[in-house]
Structure formats: C-alpha cells, structure tokens
Amino acid sequence: MDEIDNPFDGEAARIFHEQGVSEQEARDFVVLRYLRDGDTSALAHWLMTNYDPGKTVKLMLSYMLQPKRQDAEDASKELASDPNKVPYELVAKRRDGKSGRPVEPLTAEKNQAIQDLYNKLVTEIGPGGSDSAVSHLAQELGPDITMSMIKEAIKGRSPKPIKGKK
C-alpha cells in the first residue's frame, strides 16, 4: 500500500497500518463498510484494478443481489436475508429505453430446454405427432411443468415466466 490516490486506498492503508491486517482484509473491510451504506463505489473502484473480493464481501453481494431465495434443501421454503445485516438490495434497472418486461433468463432457458425435447420427440414420432409429444413431455416433466407450460414454451415468441409451485 504505497500509493494513495483516492479515499478508498487511504482508508484501507490506515486500517492496514493501524490494525496490522493484510491488504486484502483492509480492502474487504472498506468495501463492506460502503456496501452496508448502499454504496458500491469502493467495490467498483477496486474491481477495475483486479481486486478479488474475499468470502465475506462475496456473501454480502450475494444477499444484496438476491435477498429472497429458495432453500437449497427444501424448494418450497423461501429464505430472506436479515435486513439489519443486509440493509440494501442491488436492483437491476433497464437503461436502454425499451419498454415492457425483460425476458427472464431462467425462464428462457427452461423454455428452450422444453422446446429442444419437444423438437426431438416430434422428429422421432413424425408428422402429426405434436399433441402426443406434448402429452409425453407433460407426463415426463410433471407435475411441476404442466401441459399448458409446455405449449407456451414451444411457441415461437417471447417466453412467459414459468410459474411453478412455491
């Protein structure tokens, strides 16, 4: 920590010298302090200089990006991060001026997988096998994926979100 040309390096250098921690730990401390205030500027500054955030910073970012998530062991349960520990949420906002709901990447991927399975079945069955392919997929992928979800996925338009059990 030789050159100090911004407030982030200055604070990290002070922590580095006063507390005797590593440069990585000092930077993580500064980034976490800023993130807890809802400010990503310290993180953004150091990411431009090949900074690799520590585990605590990565965990904080994970909870800021997705404060509500499904339990890994029980998909029917939803977990929420403690607002006292993670007071801010990082939200993606559209800046391109386009209107309308953006395509959800997870939904688009699920729909593409369903469409690929459908196309393979229709090719195997032959002409006129569309309905039987949809029925076969509904039996194979159910009960989470219904017949109407399959029909929606195989349409050639912007995907609608797949709503499963919560």
Backbone angles phi, psi at 145, to 5 degrees: -110, 115
CB 53: neighbour CB atoms within 10 A? 18
User: What is the domain count for the chain?
Assistant: 2
User: Do 74 and 116 belong to one domain?
Assistant: no
Tell me what the mean pLDDT of segment 138-152 comes to.
Answer: 84
Q: What is the DSSP letter of 136?
A: H
Alpha helix positions (H), the chain: 7-19, 23-36, 41-47, 55-65, 105-125, 130-141, 147-153
What distance in Å separates the CA atoms of residue 147 and residue 163, rounded to the nearest whole number? 13
Top-confidence residue, 12 or 70: 12
User: Do 69 and 118 belong to one domain?
Assistant: no
Its pTM stands at 0.59
Q: Which domain holds residue 29?
A: 7-80
Answer yes or no: is 164 within a domain: no
Answer yes or no: is 163 within a domain: no
Tell me what the mean pLDDT of segment 76-94 comes to.
Answer: 82
